[in-house]
Amino acid sequence: MTPPRPTQLAQILLRNSIHEGDIVIDSTAGNGHDTVFLAECVGLNGRVLAFDIQESAIRSAKAAVIAANLGDRVEFHQLSHAKMAEHAEHGSVAAIMFNLGYLPGNDHHFTTQTEETLTAMAVATDLLKPGGILSVVCYPGHPEGAVEAELVEVWMSSLTSDGWCVAKYAMLGTRKPAPFLLMGRKDGLKSGTTSYSP
């Protein structure tokens, strides 16, 4: 077996943590691969909220869920993930996925921005229910991504002092810094915002 890429591993690990009827969030919908995956996981009675700032990404993700016949489970918002709380209640979400960076072949102007990402991740900690999962794929192989990946990793590590369990997964021996997956489980006993101050 070839070791899975971080984006594949995120789905493998999340599959058993998402249940029929859950509310979940794809905070970087892009071409919709994670949106479709999440829509499969939540079943007939669940709900996926999908966010992206690019009109073309929303269009493409929408087409992917419709092609998978899952359109009725997904609510799309062309909006920054920093504003996710406008559409979800505190402590109501079972899992939130971030796949940072930019869509290959698309306008790199739409790459995720470190400050915005960290703000959105703080919002995510508030929206997740106790025991909920935060999954983040980082891309340190390009200059902006390297800074973002480093600060996101530091931020995720700091969640452990609030009782979170956090892990990092990465390929070894790559020529460029390899993409990696950070995955955190919110403390089952506590709930509340973990703030981010620049």
**Pairing state of beta strands 93-99 and 128-138?**
parallel
Q: Looking at beta carbons only, is 31 or 125 nearer to ligand SAM?
A: 31
Residue type, 75: E
Question: In the complex, what is the shortest distance from the CB of residue 43 to ligand SAM, in angstroms, rounded to a whole number?
Answer: 20
Beta-carbon neighbour count of residue 30 at 10 Å?
24
DSSP state of 107: -
Nearer to ligand SAM, 61 or 156 (CB): 61
Residues in the interface with ligand SAM (CB under 6 A) total 20
Considering only 95-103, 145-153, 162-170, 177-185, which stretch makes contact with ligand SAM by CB under 6 A? 95-103
Cα Rg of the chain, angstroms: 16
- Minimum CB distance to ligand SAM, residue 176 (Å): 16
DSSP 190: -
Residue closest to 52 by CA, chosen among 67, 72, 34: 34
Piece of 86-94, 102-110, 163-171, 183-191 that binds ligand SAM (CB under 6 A): 102-110
Nearest CB to ligand SAM, comparing residues 23 and 25: 25
Instruction: Measure the N-to-C terminal CA separation of the chain; round to a whole number of Å.
Output: 42
Measure the CA–CA gap between 37 and 28, rounded to whole angstroms. 13
Q: Rounded CA gap, 49 and 111, in Å? A: 20
Binders of ligand SAM in range 133-192 (CB under 6 A): none
Of residues 22-51, which lie at the interface with ligand SAM (CB under 6 A)? 28, 30-34, 51
Cβ closest to ligand SAM, residue 57 vs residue 182? 57
Among 47, 81, 185, 186, binds ligand SAM (CB under 6 A): 81
Which spans in 16-171 are helix H? 33-42, 55-67, 114-127, 143-158
Determine which residue in the list 25, 41, 49, 54 makes contact with ligand SAM, applying CB under 6 A.
Answer: 54
Stretch of 65-73, 98-106, 150-158, 185-193 lying at the interface with ligand SAM (CB under 6 A): 98-106
Q: Which amino acid is at 36?
A: V
Which residues are near ligand SAM by CB under 6 A?
28, 30-34, 51-54, 57, 80-81, 99, 101-103, 110, 112, 116
